[in-house]
Amino acid sequence: MLVFYSKLINSNWFQLKAGTVLRKFKSKGGYNVTLRTPAWRNLNDLLEFINSLVEEDAMIGRDSKVTRDEEVDWLAERLKNLEKDRNMQIVAEVDGVVIGSCELSPRGGRMRHVGSLGISISKGYRNLGIGQEMMKELEKHADDLGIKIITLQVFSINERAIHVYRKMGFNEAGNIQRGKRYKEGFVDNTIMVKHL
C-alpha cells in the first residue's frame, strides 16, 4: 500500500492538496517526523516558527518578526500556488508541531526550469537529518514543476549548512561579497546549485 501511495504522489496526475501527508520517518535522536504540505490549521505554528527563528537571530533572510496578517497572506499565497502546481511547500512536524519548513519555487520566463529552494528548521531539531529528508522529498516533485536546476542561497559562515548542501549534491556557483546583513555587520552570500 505504501509503495502504491508513493507512486501516486510522484505521478504527474496526482495534485497535492493542503495537508497531504507525504512521508513519516524516525529522525536521528528518535523523533517521529511527519512531512506534509501545509494547511490552514498550521497558521499559528508557522507564525510561532518563523518568529522564533527571528528571535534566535538564525541565519535566515528575515530579520524582523512577522505579524499575524502577514503570515495569513504568506500562507494563503503558498496554498494557492500549491493547489495550482506552481510551487512545492513542505512542513516537518514532531508531535503535531511544525519544526521545519522547506519550499521549492520555479522562477519565471526563460528561467522557469530553475527553482529556488528555501529551508529552515527550529533550534533543537537541527543536525538530525530532518532537513535532508525535506530536501529529498522536494526533489521528488521538481519534475512536476518543470524544474531541472535547483538554486539556494546560504550565509557563507554557515559551514554546517554548506556541508549538508554539498552532501545533497549542491555545488558553489558564486559568492556575493557582503551580500547578507548579519549581527552588526555583513557576511558573504554563497549561491549553490544542483542540476537534476
- Map residue 63 onto helix, strand or coil: coil
Band (169; pLDDT cuts 50, 70, 90):
very high
Give the per-residue pLDDT at 13: 37
Band (8; pLDDT cuts 50, 70, 90):
very low
Stated as kind and residue range, the H or E segment containing 172 is strand 171-182
Give the chain's domain count.
1
> Is residue 73 one of the residues assigned to a domain?
yes
Give the per-residue pLDDT at 85: 85
Residue type, 176: I
- Scanning the structure block, which residue is given the C-alpha cell 524516525? 26
Band (27; pLDDT cuts 50, 70, 90):
very high
Give the distance from CA 147 to its chain's centroid.
15
**pLDDT one-digit tens code per residue, 36-62:** 999 999 999 999 999 999 999 999 999
- Scanning the structure block, which residue is given the C-alpha cell 524544474? 147
Q: Which range among 3-12, 19-28, 66-75 shows the weakest confidence by mean pLDDT? A: 3-12
User: What domain range is 111 assigned to?
Assistant: 2-147
> Is residue 175 one of the residues assigned to a domain?
no
> Is residue 194 one of the residues assigned to a domain?
no
d(CA 80, CA 136): 23
Band (15; pLDDT cuts 50, 70, 90):
low
> Is residue 158 one of the residues assigned to a domain?
no
Query: CA separation (Å) from 40 to 18, 69, 120, 137, 169?
Result: 8, 13, 19, 21, 33
Region of 102 please: left (phi>0), alpha (psi -120 to 50) or beta. Answer: beta
Query: CA separation (Å) from 148 to 49, 71, 142, 180?
Result: 30, 30, 7, 27
d(CA 127, CA 10): 27
Q: How many CA atoms lie within 13 A of 151 on its CB side?
A: 15
Could you tell me the pTM of the whole model?
Answer: 0.87
CA gyration radius, the chain: 16
User: Across the chain, what does the average pLDDT equal?
Assistant: 91
> Is residue 156 one of the residues assigned to a domain?
no
d(CA 158, CA 10): 32
> Is residue 99 one of the residues assigned to a domain?
yes
> Is residue 126 one of the residues assigned to a domain?
yes
Give the per-residue pLDDT at 84: 87
Give the per-residue pLDDT at 5: 42
Cβ 114 vs Cβ 147: under 8 Å = yes
**pLDDT one-digit tens code per residue, 51-109:** 999 999 999 999 999 999 999 999 999 999 988 888 999 999 999 999 999 999 999 99
d(CA 114, CA 124): 32
The pLDDT of residue 6 is above 50: no
Domain CATH code at residue 24: 3.40.630.30
> Is residue 195 one of the residues assigned to a domain?
no
